[in-house]
Chains A and B, each alone.
Chain A
């Protein structure tokens, strides 16, 4: 499915992307490491599924955000950290944040996103494929995952994310129904 998802994929408005720019990376990284601990605890199957690619580093580069994420699976403990510049990794996957989130939540088909080049892979293509398949099987729901680690802030966070989802067109929760002209 090649599709012109590029015309339909929401891009984060400049203002919103810009709003993140001054954020210090430290708290983002702390939240991410809490998230990665939770993912490895609750979704061990996702990391098992990576098989021979389970000891690699993946740069996830949301091109409409002023930061990149490094997912480092070495040593059997997944670590997700935020960086201003792409660190060394076996694989880099780049594309709009909406493509990452839509694929993660089953709203877009990963194959279609790769073929249409909404998501661009550099480096180890096999590892990227493995990650995509593992995430698809894990049936993740970012809102639920974030809410679970937000403690007392759960309710307000859900409200804020719901608003963000409606305003931005980003897919932040599990939908399992394809969207867009894929």
Chain B
């Protein structure tokens, strides 16, 4: 297994964004997906940094792909998606409509926001040109194993969500704007105030979710720190680390050490929890009763 860094889900200022990818060039990860996933309105603020980020990552020997948006509705967004194809890098499809712009047989990747739940879907996508699929985070281990086996047969690399707040839902409505009593069209980019998402608790003060513009994330940070052996046995090819604030380079190095057998699950979990917003981890989608569950509590 190796490591993929997924697209940043949050809205960071351009210098912060650029510095993050310069750091990644030094990090022990095999590949990086970048671009805007959540909201097309954010893109003008950092898109000028994208070419340089690609350059530095390619120069460091990383595979690089560009993500599509997660929910494409506007004409401008469709045009943006079509333009991605001309960049000469693989596209990571996170809204199926991006596929219409990718000629049959051109290799592409499939992100965790595409519903790949079974062998039939994996087969169809492979036939269309998919070479790498990051599975939906809600899949249980049995499904992961079945799909990894099918992926191996089809020559499609299968990836699993390894670390980061889990993308649970996407909507037409912007919750950040709603929390500030603003319309989406007049959001004034308030999501930028919460670089790891904005906490949502229950009325009883239980930490629960996080909002990030039109996206809803898990409040806990998913971590497969204790599941590495099970995932390797299932035949999974890569784990996905999702960008967050803090020393992400150190997190990548810890994960690389874990995959190399130089660090155990407990040590990685301790480091991950220290970095996680609210210090809470979960891995319940894979083996637990519910997604929020954490196997070390069991």
Direct contact of A and B (CB under 8 A): no
Q: Which residues of A contact B (CB under 8 A)?
A: none
